[in-house]
Amino acid sequence: MALEAVQGVLDDAVALADVTFVVVDLETTGGSPVECGITEIGAVKFRGGERVGTFETLVNPGVPIPRQITHLTGIDDATVTSAPAIDAVIPSFAEFAHGGVFVAHNARFDFTFLNVALQRLAYEPLEPPPVCTARLARRVVWPDVPNVRLQTLAQYFRTTVRPSHRALPDAEACAEVLHGLLELGGRLGILTLGDLHAAVRARGRPNYGKIRLADALPHSTGVYLFRGRDGRVLYVGKSNDLRARVKSYFYGDPRKKVEDLLAETRSVDGVECASELESLVVEARLIREHEPKYNRRGKTWRRYAYLALDTREAYPRIRVVRDAKRQGVYLGPFPSSQSARLAKEALEEFVPIRRCTNAMRASTRFAPCALADIGRCTAPCDGRITPERYGELVRSLVSSLSTPGGLLAALEARMHTLADAERFEEAALARDRLRALAEALARSRIDGWLVAPSDLILREPDGVTLRLRHGALVRSDAVETPLGSPCPRERADELGALRAWIARNGPTIESTDVPLAEPVDGGSRLNHLLARLRAGTRSS
């Protein structure tokens, strides 16, 4: 029969006083849950500090009990001869433990043993995660105790029951240790089930002195900002539960970067958001605004680059540029100038456009380079091509960016030709160039229809509606400049977060003032090509 109090192991916000704990200890014939058997189960159930149930039974393991186990526990083959088998015990234990949070000392051992037995008998496994008093003690009382063995902790907390390598006394001692740890943990900010699980999972040195900095944060979706002594933003992050996420930092983290961050932190602010997407966008905007020293993305946008083609020149060439302020045709932003250069080289393989950096007017002439002699450049420098014919070449290149079917087919064929000729290094370079170009083209297609509408309303799967103005998320408490096309590199992370979220969640379009469309030509080839490149396979 199900208990009335089924806490939400899933409800991390429940107060510890309202949690039902099932503290368990097992005696077994060995350490393998598959090869060894259980000889005794002891468990006590507590809620609000009061014992509400006890479970104790010997178990016939069906295998001989090793001598060393008998020496340790006092349980021998004769002791368990008349005891029930685990098949008869498991139904009663499953009912006893139902609705409670599993607790044990070195909990993984007992938790795994019992789950193997439950699953073998087609019962639902115990609900994770278990609470391990040994790991919790490392968070709460270390280094005040020399070790976290149950015997040591029982002495430290002066429990009325001392461990004796028998299941029920050990479970009772573990329960008293748990209550001692929770009492100390409450002074450190471990107040809810979520706090408890976070403390048990944490690694590294805890920093409980600052855990109160999270007290004012809500249990809601949003963005948090760690600030230093002078109010400067040190780190920006997002979470679906602001308070729980920020508290988790203070329970301990082995990364030195996090330890350094906590050492500098003097306050933590939170910005509530209506949805996951809003938190992603707000996070990107705040990182761009403050450039926090502990955010890897704080200054990475400065490395972004574009491919630019100034069609006003007499003989345009493809250039890698850091901004998109001049008129012209742009592709990007790319995550780095190296990625942009690979895409540039891919385009130059397809169209024999000039690559020299000399400024050229229609009448400019100078000696051609080696590329002209091998037919890789049309050589406007010595008059081999007229400005009108060169302009047609440029228009063909621009058209290929929006309808890239032929462009991609030619570059992929070139890559396979090199591989078939066993020119593997050249084939690998051709592959890298093709992938850099294809990924940029795929991004630009999505960005084009995101940025075009001045009023685009999306509905998330959970019913939350979001409004975009030229690619910028409109928030009730802020006015944000539209993104425009091409997207400024300092806002590329914001658009990237929007693009990735749409790909994951597939929101519904409620309304738009500009039809969302992209050219049909090349779309299928682009998607299939990227799938093959990412999987490392070849088209048949």
pLDDT, tens digit, 9 for 90 and up, residues 404-451: 888 888 998 999 999 999 999 999 999 999 999 999 999 988 888 888
Percentages (nearest 5) of helix, strand, coil residues in the chain = 45, 15, 40
Q: To 5 degrees, how large is the angle CA 358–CA 359–CA 360?
A: 110
User: How far is 56 from 72, CA to CA, in rounded Å?
Assistant: 19
Joined together, the tokens standing for residue 419 give 């591989």
User: How far is 69 from 29, CA to CA, in rounded Å?
Assistant: 6
- Taking Cα atoms as reference points, which of 198, 237, 204, 203 lies closest to residue 221? 237
Instruction: Please say whether the beta carbons of 166 and 27 come within 8 A.
Output: yes
User: How far is 60 from 473, CA to CA, in rounded Å?
Assistant: 64
Who contacts 48 (Cβ-Cβ below 8 Å, separation ≥6)? 17, 18
- Taking Cα atoms as reference points, which of 196, 297, 189 lies closest to residue 238? 297
Q: What is the pLDDT at residue 1? A: 30
User: How far is 405 from 50, CA to CA, in rounded Å?
Assistant: 71
Burial class for 363, CB neighbours closer than 10 Å (0-12, 13-18, 19+): exposed
Domains in the chain with CATH codes: 16-195 (3.30.420.10), 204-301 (3.40.1440.10), 305-402 (no CATH), 443-535 (no CATH)
pLDDT in tens, 57-105: 999 999 999 999 999 999 999 999 999 999 999 999 999 999 999 999 9
pTM exceeds 0.85, yes or no:
no
Q: What is the pLDDT at residue 478? A: 64
Joined together, the tokens standing for residue 433 give 């160039």
Beta-sheet strand order (sheet of 131-132): 50-58, 38-47, 20-28, 101-104, 131-132
Q: What is the pLDDT at residue 7? A: 39
Instruction: Please say whether the beta carbons of 240 and 276 come within 8 A.
Output: yes
Per-residue pLDDT of the chain (540 residues; tens, 9 = 90+): 333 333 334 466 788 999 999 999 999 999 899 899 999 999 999 999 899 999 999 999 999 999 999 999 999 999 999 999 999 999 999 999 999 999 999 999 999 999 999 999 999 999 889 999 999 998 888 778 889 999 999 999 999 999 999 999 999 999 999 999 999 988 777 888 988 998 888 876 677 778 888 888 998 999 999 999 899 999 999 999 998 889 888 887 777 888 889 889 999 999 999 888 889 999 999 998 999 999 987 778 889 999 999 888 888 889 999 988 888 899 989 999 999 999 999 998 888 888 888 878 877 788 788 777 677 788 788 878 888 888 888 898 988 888 888 888 899 899 999 999 999 999 999 999 999 999 999 998 888 888 888 888 888 877 888 888 888 888 875 667 888 888 888 889 989 888 888 888 888 888 888 887 766 677 778 888 888 888 877 765
Instruction: Please say whether the beta carbons of 197 and 241 come within 8 A.
Output: no
User: How far is 414 from 343, CA to CA, in rounded Å?
Assistant: 15
- Taking Cα atoms as reference points, which of 132, 193, 175, 179 lies closest to residue 8? 193
